[in-house]
Structure 1
């Protein structure tokens, strides 16, 4: 399994690829230097393996590399940010 990324203009997705099958994804929209993570979903056979967290981690790495801030409007992504203080540097404050 591998995490891959596709981006078209301002929208994109990080996804879990397992030999050509998508087993999870995290969708985002970039606007004015802010990456809005609005949807995260992982196949139930991967649940409990922290793959959703790995998708968020990939998004954080991408945001850092591109000097974006992140607005986690997705409930799951927001919960990951709430319990991961190491991501505070990219988090949009006052959310």
Structure 2
């Protein structure tokens, strides 16, 4: 799977693409400040469900936050559930 990032001043999205499947999975975020993002939506098409694509997007967001030095507010129910399951991600979770 390949993950691409699209960013602009007020936010962006991560796109997860699996070879042979045309529709990507998507995780969108808003930038609340230079050091804070709000992950507000995750969409995984039916053709990608059960393949770990959503989990890979969540992991990518956490790694990007660590590299960028920012925190995440998981407004999206999927991302919130993933962060609840992964206490090792608490270093980037805004409390």
Q: Shared fold by TM > 0.5?
A: yes
TM-superposed deviation, 1:9:
1.1
Higher strand share: 1
Divergent runs of 4+, >2 A: 17-22
The equivalent residue for 1:25 is: 26
The equivalent residue for 1:45 is: 47
TM-superposed deviation, 1:10:
2.2
RMSD of aligned Cα (Å)? 1.5
Number of aligned residues: 93
The equivalent residue for 1:11 is: 11
Structure 2 CA distance, aligned partners of 1:74 and 1:61? Answer: 18
TM-superposed deviation, 1:40:
0.3
Higher helix share: 2
Alignment gaps of 5+ in structure 1: none
TM-score normalized with structure 1 length: 0.90
**SS in structure 1 at match of 2:92:** coil
TM-score normalized with structure 2 length: 0.90
1:27/1:39 contact within 8 Å kept: yes
Structure 1 CA distance, aligned partners of 2:55 and 2:24? Answer: 14
Residue 62 in 1 paired to residue 64 in 2? yes
Structure 2 CA distance, aligned partners of 1:51 and 1:42? Answer: 7
1:70/1:90 contact within 8 Å kept: yes
